A and B are shown apart, each in its own frame.
Chain A
Amino acid sequence: MWTGGTSPAWAASSLIDVVLWSTLAIVAVVFYLAGAAFAMRIRNVLRARRYNSYEASWEPVLLDVIDGSVALSGLQATVTSRSRRHFLKFLVRYARLLSGGDRQIVVDLAEQHLPMMVGDLKARNPERRAFAVQTLATLGMEKYGPAIAGALDDASALVSMVAARTLSASRQPAYIDDVLFNLHRYARWNSRFLSSMLASMGSEVAPALRSFLRSNRDPLDRAVAADALSLLTDPAAADVAAGILNGTPDRELAAASLRLLRTVGGPEHLPIVRSCATSRDFVLRALALRVLGTVGEAADLDLLEQGMAHPEPWVAINSAQAMLEAGGAGRLEAMVASGHPLAPLAREAIMERVG
């Protein structure tokens, strides 16, 4: 039965060869993978044991160092060249939990090991460079600030971003220009995150942000600066925002300028805000109506009531909120009492305030 012509028999035999060799190759792969899994497990268990034993010996001594009963050198003596890297990880964890003098003790303990991390800034692996930046920023920002700022120019966007984040989180306003110079590299990042990052540097960076907002840099980057100024509640930025609204064709920048005016705008900006409140772009319209809630006058309540009837839900919701902020609670309550078609929206706005 298994004896057809020469050619099919040969083909069948070749097929069997392919099957057998493939099976053997795959079985070899299986053994390799299973072996690798077990090897990794053994390595991980041993590594965890080693780290646990390090930490079990360091932790009580560190607590003694912090309460002053043991000198720094008492803990330093337990750190070997092999355990140095892990010691820094251990200290980073504590540095993030502690503050004031206690934190300073941790920083002092790290000092002699940090040059190793500076060396890591030149490592080939970007993840390793990023980790070095993170460690240096947590344990040695004062001394290594310039090295971290240098990492803003790193070829890897990851490393550059870690540097920007750590400089911002450590409130290092001296580096704002370096961060802003590199802002275009973070173009893919969420703008809300970026503006929050810049604002975390503190109000000292407001002048630099204002000048960046005035510049002719990419409108998206300028929008980030505008949102950062909103977070910093920088009154001097209001005129810049109004000026931008008068001329920019960029929607994102215009939206950010309106958000800025909502925080720091005044009656002198009402004309431009009102003109945006009738914009055909519903995003700008909704934002402008919301600005009227904080800087508008009694005369703007009619505009807000019109906004509440707008078919676009975002315009309607923002108008209702703005109405409440502009002192129009009475109007909203009247709507609810009279069973006005907008009563549900009015009721929601009132309840949100109560909530």
Chain B
Amino acid sequence: MTTVITVVSGVILAYFLALNFIYMTTSTLAFLHLKKYVGRLESLHISDLVNAAGGMPITLVVPAFNEVTGIVESVRSLLTLQYSDYEIIVVNDGSTDTTLDRLIQAFELARAERIPSSSLSTAPVRAMYRAGRHPNLWVIDKENGGKADSLNAGLNHTRTPLFCAMDADTLLEPEALPRLVRPFLEDRTTIAAGGIVRIANGCSVEGGIVRQVLLPANMVARFQVVEYLRAFLATRVGWDVLRSTLIISGAFGVFKRGIVAQVGGFATDTVGEDMELVVRLHRHCRENQIKYRITFVPDPVAWTEAPEDLKSLGRQRDRWQRGLVQTLWRHRRMFGNPRYGPPGLIGFTYYTIFEVVGPIIEAFGFTFFLWALITGIAPISYVLAFFALAVAAGVALSVAAVALEELSFRRYTRPADLGRMIVVALIENFGYRQLSTWWRIKGIVSALRRDHTWGSLDRRGFTPSVESTRPAVIDLNADDLRTTTVSDQQ
């Protein structure tokens, strides 16, 4: 039995050390990159880019399902963004409440015509509206088809070279858009860029703008603050350095319209449409030998409201994990495949081995050591040593993320907040982390059961569509038309 325990413990330990080695590597790369990046920002006046005639026109596509309570404020906030040339398309996804009526009333919407620029398959569009006082605001009223379907409907009516996919309840910082468009200006091969998503819970918000950044009082939300810092600053920045960005958050990402339409838009048969699109873009470009760049930018900020109860959070995490599994399975050809460069060799392999299999091994480890302890097969000191290692590694990663925040953007300025975040980094390992593992395992099981629902109580409430997407063949270079043609119409 000792042999079995030793072998199993050894395997768990090796896996665990490998995982933490990767985390530490991405954190170190993130540290080096952020240090340089912050220096670069010093030589850049973002207002120059905002005011530059060469700033790229962009369309914000905002899917809305039963958002009556916040939609008007969200749109008002979007209308105040600092950007020279942008349109907003709100897609009312067959809301059963009065979302559309509120929009019509608040923005004096009138029926209008707008010929689609691509032909992605979506649920039927009932009508198009345009705001009287804000000619850059459009509303598409369509039958319910889910978030991805709504994004596709918005994409079909997008006339700008870029579009921003976002959630109706996301608050963008006034400078977020020019900051996220910057990679498209600096590198014409950029086809997608994601910004950082931060937790708005606890912050003071006025007129759709986060005025004061504070840690939430609610512990579930507070755990997520540190978790988001870890995910975005310590992980995504590192993956970006390795050219292996596989996820751009659905709450805030900018894409080149032409190529997204070319690959068929957002997939409507997965709950992880954001990651699936990014992976499909990698695959498309690699298979067709198109020079491209997909990047993560750490300074454009979108604020989102995080779930404050475990039930909602569990559903969210279940859905994320399902989306991850569905995407990795759909594109399994990329796994460890050198043809797909760093995204296939490094990113895809990591996500498969450590993000999908990881929770299973972690849960197995917990169960195994608990069993060994209860049955007395392993001494308590042995089990405690392993547990201490797991806790120490978890704390190290979270503290590294907090340190990266302090190095770079320092949003949480209250002196006590830094200490609180370090405390959260410690206590999240006792309960919260195990719950997260459980939700992720549930997500894997749901994915295996081919469950495509978003969860009935989810705030966004998008229901799935099993309609397949038909690739609309729009040449990438059609975007060049926008330079002097479509933009002149506005």
| Any A CB within 8 A of the CB of B400 | yes
Lowest 10 CB-CB distances: which A-B pairs, in order?
A: A196-B54, A127-B39, A4-B2, A130-B43, A193-B54, A348-B113, A26-B392, A37-B403, A196-B53, A8-B3
For the complex, give the distance between the alpha carbons of A11 and B393 in Å: 23
A316 touches B115 (CB 8 A): yes
Residues of B bordering A, CB below 8 Å: 1-3, 5-6, 9-10, 13, 17, 20, 36, 39-40, 42-43, 45, 47-48, 52-56, 112-119, 130, 135, 159, 184-189, 376-379, 381-382, 385-386, 388-389, 392-393, 395-396, 399-400, 402-403, 406-407, 410, 415, 418, 422, 474-475, 477-478, 480-481, 483-486, 489
Give 7 CB contacts A-B under 8 Å: A8-B2, A11-B6, A22-B17, A22-B389, A158-B40, A283-B481, A287-B485
With a cutoff of 8 Å between Cβ atoms, the chain A residues found around residue B186 in the complex are 188-190
B13 touches A321 (CB 8 A): no
- Least distance between B357 CB and chain A CB atoms (Å): 21
With a cutoff of 8 Å between Cβ atoms, the chain A residues found around residue B55 in the complex are 193
- Least distance between A45 CB and chain B CB atoms (Å): 7
User: A12-B5, A127-B42 in contact; A314/B478 too (CB < 8 A)?
Assistant: yes
Number of A-B contacts (CB under 8 A): 199
| Any B CB within 8 A of the CB of A18 | yes
For the complex, give the distance between the alpha carbons of A355 and B481 in Å: 21
With a cutoff of 8 Å between Cβ atoms, the chain A residues found around residue B10 in the complex are 11, 15
- Least distance between B238 CB and chain A CB atoms (Å): 15
With a cutoff of 8 Å between Cβ atoms, the chain A residues found around residue B52 in the complex are 193, 196-197
| Any B CB within 8 A of the CB of A49 | no
- Least distance between B121 CB and chain A CB atoms (Å): 15
With a cutoff of 8 Å between Cβ atoms, the chain A residues found around residue B377 in the complex are 1-2
A192 touches B403 (CB 8 A): no
- Least distance between A4 CB and chain B CB atoms (Å): 3
- Least distance between B360 CB and chain A CB atoms (Å): 21
B188 touches A189 (CB 8 A): yes
| Any B CB within 8 A of the CB of A40 | yes
Partner of A15, one of B6, B117, B395, B400: B6
User: A1-B376, A158-B43 in contact; A190/B392 too (CB < 8 A)?
Assistant: no
Interface string of A7-50 (1 = CB under 8 A from B): 01101100110111011001101100110111011001100000
| Any B CB within 8 A of the CB of A167 | no
With a cutoff of 8 Å between Cβ atoms, the chain B residues found around residue A130 in the complex are 40, 42-43
- Least distance between A308 CB and chain B CB atoms (Å): 10
The secondary-structure label for the interface of chain B is: helix
| Any B CB within 8 A of the CB of A338 | no
Residues of A bordering B, CB below 8 Å: 1-5, 8-9, 11-12, 15-16, 18-20, 22-23, 26-27, 29-30, 33-34, 36-38, 40-41, 44-45, 96, 125, 127-128, 130-131, 133-134, 158, 162, 165, 169, 188-197, 199-200, 227, 230-231, 251-252, 255, 259, 262-263, 282-283, 286-287, 290, 313-314, 316-318, 321, 344-345, 347-348, 351-352, 355
For the complex, give the distance between the alpha carbons of A131 and B135 in Å: 39
User: A23-B389, A41-B406, A317-B115 in contact; A1/B1 too (CB < 8 A)?
Assistant: yes
Among A37, A131, A316, A348, max chain B CB count under 10 A is at A37
B43 touches A131 (CB 8 A): yes
- Least distance between A304 CB and chain B CB atoms (Å): 14
Partner of B188, one of A162, A165, A190, A230: A190
For the complex, give the distance between the alpha carbons of A127 and B34 in Å: 13
For the complex, give the distance between the alpha carbons of A283 and B113 in Å: 23
- Least distance between A195 CB and chain B CB atoms (Å): 7
- Of all chain B residues, the one with the shortest Cβ separation from A198 is B54
A230 touches B484 (CB 8 A): yes
- Of all chain A residues, the one with the shortest Cβ separation from B47 is A96
For the complex, give the distance between the alpha carbons of A44 and B382 in Å: 43
For the complex, give the distance between the alpha carbons of A133 and B418 in Å: 35
A195 touches B54 (CB 8 A): yes
- Of all chain B residues, the one with the shortest Cβ separation from A345 is B115
